Amino acid sequence: MKGLIAERLLASLGFGSRKDSRKIIRSKALEVDGQIIDDPNYKFQNKPEFIYVYGEKTPTIIDLYIMLHKPLQVECSHRPQHHVSVYSLLPERFLSMKLSSVGRLDVDSSGLLLLSNDGQFIHHLESPKRGILKRYSISLARPFSSDQEQALLTGVALKGERNIVHAKSLKVHSPTQIELEIGEGLYHQVRRMFAAVGNHVESLQRIAVGDLFLDSSLSPGDWRFLQKTDLEKLSFQNTKLFE
Ligand code: URA
């Protein structure tokens, strides 16, 4: 009879080797639809949408889409140089699942970081042609002038970049508290844009990508899986994930 074997399912989701997965199952840590499954050879006739492993709800899809509230002093790299890696904030079993961040945030920046192992999703969000907007909340060292505002909206040249970049939208909440949207994701772009007009960014937080805002229930370092409605806000669909 055809079916999906429990130990194989856990191994495919990054819970370790088949042997590791057998151990997990035998320790009664696998629960599906309210039932503990302690037989590693248990056959699912249909792949369950979610399983619980050590009580943690885990989607059974291989495509992962994650929202992380990136804290300060954490590097968006698998091989960090001076600080811990963002990947160390995620469960260890994700490490084998080839996750990448979608657009990096500097060590000194915090906020919304999306991570995925779906190349199409990453391309969708990073493609300059689509120009999906990233929104930042910024504290400045010096009062923001209307000349600076005008220059950022008109466009500034950044050293080493071919094209002029400009703010797609800009809100001034107070003389030193600004919100701005950009379409690109160039290296240190926001800091360089403010430096180019003679100001200095003191703190920078990404608060949205497209129409998807950082979930206010996530504290720095917390993460959650993206839901169907989140992907819709990014104009992205994965029919395998949510039927
Ligand atoms: N722009 C920056 O300068 N830094 C970031 O982390 C993101 C955008």
The CATH fold of domain 133-209: Alpha-Beta Plaits (3.30.70)
> Of these residues, 106, 147, 211, 230, which one is catalytic?
106
Is the CATH number of domain 65-128+215-233 3.30.70.580? Answer: yes
CATH domain 4-59 topology:
3.10.290
Question: Ligand 1 centre from 109 Cα, in Å?
Answer: 7
Q: What is the pLDDT of residue 239?
A: 57
Residue ranges of the chain whose pLDDT lies below 70: 1-3, 239-243
Alpha carbons 134 and 217: distance in angstroms, whole number: 20
Q: Whose CA is nearest to atom 2 of ligand 1?
A: 188
Residue whose CB lies within 8 A of the most ligand 1 atoms, among 77, 105, 180, for a mutation test: 105
Which pTM was predicted? Answer: 0.79
66-115 pLDDT, tens per residue? Answer: 999 999 999 999 888 899 999 999 988 787 777 899 989 999 999 999 99
CA distance from start to end of the chain: 25
Atom 7, ligand 1: residue with shortest CA distance:
105
Q: Tell me whether residue 230 is one of the annotated catalytic residues.
A: no
Closest CA to 196 of 236, 150, 157, 141: 157
- What backbone torsions phi and psi does residue 232 show, to the nearest 5 degrees? -60, -35
Q: What are the residues whose beta carbons fall under 8 Å from the beta carbon of 35, sequence distance 6 or more?
A: none
133-209: same fold as 65-128+215-233? yes
Domain positions in the chain are: 4-59, 65-128+215-233, 133-209
- Rounded Cα distance between 127 and 194, Å, is 24
Closest C-alpha to 71, from 27, 37, 107, 110: 110
Q: Are 201 and 191 in contact (CB under 8 A)?
A: yes
Residue 59 backbone dihedrals phi, psi, to 5 degrees: -65, 145
- Ligand 1 centre to CA of 205 (Å) is 8
